[in-house]
Chains A and B, each alone.
Chain A
Amino acid sequence: MARQVDVSLAREFGLSADEYQRVLDIMGRLPTLTELGVFSVMWSEHCSYKSSRVWLKQLPTKASWVIHGPGENAGVVDIGDGLAAVFKMESHNHPSFIEPYQGAATGVGGILRDVFTMGARPVANLNALRFGDPADPRTKRVVDGVVRGVGGYGNCVGVPTVGGEVNFHPSYNGNPLVNAMTVGIAPTDRIFLSAAAGVGNPVVYVGSKTGRDGIHGATMASAEFDKNSEEKRPTVQVGDPFAEKLLIDACLELMQTDAIIAIQDMGAAGLTSSSVEMAGKGGLGIDIDLDAVPQREADMSAYEMMLSESQERMLMVVRPDRQDVARAIFAKWELDFAVIGRLTDTGRIVVRHQGRMEADIALAPLVDQAPMYHRPFTEPSLPAPLGEVADPAGLSEALFTLIACPDLCSRAWVWNQYDATVGGQTVKRPGTADAAVVRIEGHRRALALTTDCTPRYCFADPAGGAAQAVAEAWRNITATGAQPLALTDNLNFGNPEKPEIMGQFVAAIRGISAACTALDFPVVSGNVSLYNETEGQGILPTPTIGGLGVLQDAAQAVGLALVPDLELVLVGDGAGWLGQSLWLREVTGREEGTPPPVDLAVERRNGDFVRGQILAGGVCACHDVSDGGLLVAVTEMALAGDTGVTLSPTLGGASPHAFWFGEDQARYVLAVRQATPLLAAARAAGVPAEYIGSTGGGDLTLPDGATISLRLLQSAHARFLPAWMEGAA
């Protein structure tokens, strides 16, 4: 039964009345159902970035080592040795609340495709997950499904999942965040792009058959949730990682030949977005014959086929004289291969089905006249600075509270479900270093990878917090000895039609830009996810940063585990900043104050010094200081190495809790055989550094002489996730 095309249908499809009027003006007539569907997904927030595009242009995207910045399927960075790292992070937030397993799984599937569509073999996955309050009855189901889904997809595809982060906060109760990142490697002279070329060339569909799953997924991702959100289940895509593995193998094999002119994965808005983008970028037109599309359900309509988000499909423009070569490769891997269209010079997308013309749209206005909004925003106001805070608990009790809390406890329950060793190149597995380190097969060099964000900082001070996220990613890479090169971002925010939310976004862009510029750490790809709100309640602003760096020699990588007979040196200093700290939240129950300031010049100076020391040899372990402050950092190093620490009795000053739990930035703990030469080098470099203790034994000895056994700390650290998720004792 055909629906009447009118403004109320357009609104159901996610278009505003003004946007619908613009469609009418462009078409010059009433659009067909399929044409309305095409406009609605292409102009959705998720696909068009209409609320954010005007601001994203501010981000620094260039450096001499950047081969492709934002605009392609993923960012491409020259890492030396004739190799390029191809990487991006994508969000799959809304689907992961509705159907956690498939939402997370297809998030991983989608980002993998964005990377291998450029000719890069995926070599590492990471993911940044934000969940609601563990006490909220919905959270456990989401955590279980998301972790199973990430593992279920990534493990089957055979790409190691090597890092990421997990946070809990009530603001994510109805809006979990699943930000999935993939990194791949390609030769610099063999990167595949998506701009179509060659009038008359065949347009080929490969991969899984098309079904009815995920229709209007892009629109679902562009709207808030309400009480009826559960009904949106059919809009969540269903993934098949086995099909994806075959697709990766087939595409990479085909990419060894010269058959491919252009290639794009079918992600959000499936066949619609891929065909529009490929033809649009090439300045051409495209004719599509839907009768040729491999279908897994009977009687699919043109509308359904154009909007389906069935997974594991790619669209390619192939050299006409290489069609047979391509067809044979896909037959070997037992995947569908169908010529579904041709490139034309009309500049229009024309879709035919069963003898009917279902869509005929000029590409230029579809793309160029996509809405771009300068939404009103209010500049965020900073909270009142935190005054003096008395210590209600003492160091020992506070330390136990912190390392046992959901945001700091051991994440082993999570990463033990992710295959981290497949491929045989994982130098530093989850939990062993500040960034994951993965060697490039056949080479000495290695990648250092991390995801970072401190959302509570971003809520209090969006500009400062966003800069901190970039600085922390840069620090985590540096702490392994690697040189940070570039980053990808997922900007997760609430409803941009609210001026205060838009203000958070604008300020965050400003903060990210400043940090990228100061640290020579450009943005090469990314994603924006807006409308992360349920019934008006939005998430903390969460600009997740996915950082990539390079070690010339994988053997130089440094982890964070301690061994006996070392001396610990704190590089960097601070005033004992407790504003927006985890200590303040977990020990006193307050989420107040301004976050620790980020001095980008000091970050650079301290980090470059630390990296130099690591590469010169002699640094046995290194860990940056972040959530929980210095005492938590030292404890994490001790637990990782099952080696005790005796802290220097002279430390702490007038406010020991501020010294030990303050989250002052630009700081690292280094474990070396002899502190003296390191302290001298720091002095010479103008970098603050101080001796803080020595390693050995089975206890953590505090400055006042009190000892805490590592056994007790270990069991407190390990308890929360297994106990909550499995009901284990």
Chain B
Amino acid sequence: MRAGIVVFPGINRERDMAIALERSSGHRPRMIWHRETDLSGLDLVVVPGGFSYGDYLRCGAMAAQSPVMRAIAAHAERGGHVLGVCNGFQILVEAGLLPGALLRNAGLRFLSMDCHLRVERADTDFTRRYRQGQSFRAAMAHGDGNYFADDATLDRLEGEGLVAFRYATAEGAVTPEANPNGSARNIAGIYAPNLRVLGLMPHPEDLVDKLMGGDDGKPLFDGLAAALAA
């Protein structure tokens, strides 16, 4: 798997992502400075977490205007895989690759804690190493993770099987108590229609090592590595 991680000024989770990808694929991903526009040869483009451009204006709004985003959109149109995590999810939404918006957390405070995610479908390249309905632990660290879209969009996402993960209990129950930030219908992550673009707010890349508290996130990267093995 040839992976590239896009780095905008203010991105701060590129190293976490590189560690997770290397653990699963055996290959060091390429760091792509935001001014580069040549993504040829990459199977997977990752937009990682952080505070690109300081979250000025809106989270991800400025990064979404960057020339590299046009290259990412073209990569996605060619059927390439794209993973946007946290700020990356916000950037993909601002760039129009995914629908909806990420608003301020309902509790109005930054939230750094673990959550559980229910796997809504286990047949994509991102989730093939999980079971459908499985609940796994992920780390969270965000102030603006409250996913919002109008009812028509939400109905379409659900109807077309494009909801990737929902906030849930450890047992897999999707409840209001398990929803840390007020996201509509407990939605934590969504796919583009071709199921090759995934955006999610929590950080699976920070739980890929039992030494760091658990490896519940590793299957996501294992699955990708297997799907995209050269």
Give chain B residues whose Cβ lies under 8 Å from the Cβ of A421.
16, 112, 139, 141, 203, 206, 212-213
User: What are the residues of chain A within 8 A of B20 when measuring CB–CB?
Assistant: 424
Query: What is the predominant secondary structure among interface residues of chain B facing chain A?
Result: mixed
Asked if A419 lies at the interface with its beta carbon under 8 angstroms from chain B, I say yes
Q: Which residues of B contact A412 (CB under 8 A)?
A: 113
Q: Which residue on B lies nearest to A335, using beta carbons?
A: B9
Whether A416 lies near B113 (C-beta < 8 A) is yes
A414 to chain B, nearest CB (A): 11
- 0 or 1 for each of B1-40: is its CB under 8 Å from A? (1 = yes): 0000000011011011001100000000000000000000
Point out the residues of chain A lying under 8 angstroms from B50, CB to CB.
158
CB of B205 within 8 A of chain A? yes
Which residue from B12, B113, B143 sits with its C-beta under 8 Å from A157?
B12
How would residues 42 to 77 of chain A score, 1 for a CB under 8 Å from any chain B CB and 0 otherwise?
A: 000000000000000000000000000000000000
At the interface, yes or no: A379 with Cβ under 8 Å from chain B?
no
Q: B12–A422 contact, CB under 8 A? A: yes
Cβ of B55 under 8 Å from chain A: yes
Say yes or no: B54 contacts A424, CB within 8 Å: no
Interface residues of B toward A: which range?
20 to 34
B73 at the interface (CB under 8 A from A): no
- The interface size bin for chain A is 35 or more
Report if A359 contacts B (CB, 8 A).
no
Does any Cβ of A come within 8 Å of B109's Cβ? yes
Q: Decide: A155 and B16 in contact? CB cutoff 8 A.
A: no
Contact, CB under 8 Å: A246 / B139? no
A379-414 interface code vs B (CB 8 A; 1 in, 0 out): 000000000000000000000000000000000100
Known: A158-B12, A334-B9, A425-B212. A242 touches B19 (CB 8 A): no
Within the complex, which residue of A152, A419, A439 is in contact with B141, where a contact is CB–CB below 8 Å? A419
Cβ of B76 within 8 Å of any chain A Cβ, yes or no, is no
Q: Residues of B contacting A157 with CB < 8 Å? A: 12
In the docked arrangement, what's the CA distance between A419 and B107, Å? 16
A333 at the interface (CB under 8 A from B): yes
The reply to whether A424 and B12 form a contact with Cβ atoms under 8 Å apart is no
A241 within 8 A of B: yes
The answer to whether B51 touches A422 (Cβ under 8 A) is no
Chain B minimum-CB-distance residue to A147: B109
With known contacts A158-B50, A424-B206, A416–B12 Cβ distance under 8 A? no
A151 contacts the other chain (CB 8 A): yes
Which A residues are CB-close (under 8 A) to B206? 421-422, 424
Contact A156:B55 (CB < 8 A) given known A151-B110, A420-B112, A426-B212 = yes
Give the CA-CA distance A689 to B92 in the complex, in Å.
59
Residues of B within 8 A of A424 (CB): 15-16, 19-20, 205-206, 208-209, 212
Within 8 A of A (CB), among B88-111: 107, 109-111
Nearest CB on A from B221, distance (A)? 12
Asked if residues A242 and B53 are in contact (CB atoms below 8 Å), the reply is: yes
The residue in chain A whose Cβ has the minimal distance to the Cβ of B33 is A332
Tell whether, in the assembled complex, residue A155 and residue B110 are in contact, meaning their CB atoms are under 8 Å apart.
yes
- Tell me whether B152 is interfacial, beta carbon within 8 Å: no
Task: Indicate if A116 sits at the interface (CB-CB under 8 A).
Answer: no
Q: How far apart are A613's CB and chain B's nearest CB, in angstroms?
A: 21
How far is A242 from B51 in the complex, measured between Cα atoms in Å?
8
Q: Which of A242, A417, A554 contacts B110 (CB 8 A)?
A: A417
| CA of A249 to CA of B12, assembled, Å | 10
- A560 CB, nearest partner CB in chain B, Å: 15
With contacts A417-B112, A427-B212, A441-B15 known, is A156 near B9, CB below 8 A? no
In-complex Cβ contact of A429 among B203, B208, B213 (8 A): B213
Q: Are B16 and A242 in contact (CB under 8 A)?
A: no
Which residue of chain A has the shortest Cβ distance to B14 in the bound complex? A158
**Distance in Å: Cβ of A496 to nearest Cβ of chain B:** 38
Shortest A527–chain B CB gap in Å is 27
Which residue of A246, A415, A423, A554 is within 8 Å of B10 (Cβ)?
A246
Contact A422 B10 (CB under 8 A): no
Which chain A positions have C-beta within 8 A of B9? 242, 245-246, 249, 333-334
**B212 touching A419, Cβ below 8 Å:** no
| Distance (whole angstroms) from the CB of A394 to the closest CB of chain B | 34
What B residues does A289 contact at CB under 8 A? none
| Chain B, range 175-199, C-beta contacts under 8 Å to A | none
Asked if A627 lies at the interface with its beta carbon under 8 angstroms from chain B, I say no
* Shortest distance between the CB of B9 and any CB in chain A (Å): 6
The chain B residue sitting closest to A413, CB to CB, is B109
| A333 closest partner in B (C-beta) | B9
B230 near A: Cβ within 8 Å?
no
| Residues from 28 to 78 in B contacting A, C-beta threshold 8 Å | 49-51, 53-56
B211 within 8 A of A: yes
Looking at the assembled complex, report how far the CB atom of B35 sits from the nearest CB atom of chain A, in whole angstroms: 9
With A151-B110, A155-B51 already in contact, the answer to whether A422 and B13 are too (CB < 8 A) is yes
Task: Report yes or no: B112 in contact with A415, Cβ–Cβ below 8 A.
Answer: yes
> Which A residues are in CB contact (< 8 Å) with B212?
421, 424-427, 439
Name A415's closest neighbour in chain B (CB-CB).
Answer: B112
Given A158-B50, A425-B212, A429-B213, CB of A417 within 8 Å of CB of B109: yes
Which residues of B have CB within 8 Å of A152?
Answer: 110
A158 with B13: in contact, given A151-B110, A242-B51, A424-B19 (CB under 8 Å)?
yes
Beyond A157-B12, A424-B212, is A241–B112 a contact (Cβ under 8 Å)? no
CB proximity to B under 8 Å, residues A662-702: none
Question: In the docked arrangement, what's the CA distance between A151 and B143, Å?
Answer: 10
Contacts of B191-230 to chain A: CB distance below 8 A: 203, 205-206, 208-209, 211-213
Chain B CB within 8 A of A518 CB: no
Q: How far is the CA of A419 from the CA of B139 in the complex (A)?
A: 10
B-contact bits for A223-262, CB 8 A (1 contact / 0 none): 0000000000000000011110110010000000000000
Once A241-B54, A419-B112, A424-B205 are accepted as A-B contacts, the answer to whether A156 and B211 lie under 8 Å apart by CB is: no
A555 on interface, CB distance cutoff 8 Å:
yes
Q: Which of chain B's residues have a CB closer than 8 A to the CB of A427?
A: 211-213
Judge whether A101 is part of the interface by a CB distance below 8 angstroms.
no
Give complex CA distance A148, B53 in Å. 20
Closest-by-CB residue of A relative to B108 is: A726
* A173 CB → nearest B CB, Å: 25
Q: Is A418 an interface residue (CB 8 A)?
A: yes
CB distance from A12 to the nearest CB of B (A): 36
Q: How distant is A721 from chain B, measured CB to nearest CB, in Å?
A: 12
Query: What 10 A-B pairs are tightest by C-beta distance, nearest first?
Result: A158-B12, A242-B54, A424-B16, A419-B141, A156-B51, A421-B206, A419-B112, A421-B139, A417-B110, A416-B113
A-B contact pairs, 16 of them (CB 8 A): A155-B143, A156-B10, A156-B12, A240-B54, A242-B9, A242-B10, A243-B54, A245-B12, A421-B206, A422-B13, A422-B49, A423-B16, A424-B15, A424-B20, A427-B212, A427-B213
Known: A155-B143, A420-B112. 17 other contacts (CB 8 A): A151-B110, A156-B55, A157-B12, A158-B50, A242-B10, A242-B55, A243-B54, A333-B9, A417-B109, A418-B112, A419-B110, A422-B16, A423-B16, A424-B15, A424-B208, A424-B209, A429-B213
B residues at A contact (CB < 8 Å): 9-10, 12-13, 15-16, 19-20, 49-51, 53-56, 107, 109-113, 139, 141, 143, 203, 205-206, 208-209, 211-213
Measured CB to CB, the residues of A under 8 A from B are 148, 151-152, 155-158, 240-243, 245-246, 249, 333-334, 412, 415-427, 429, 439, 441, 554-555, 726
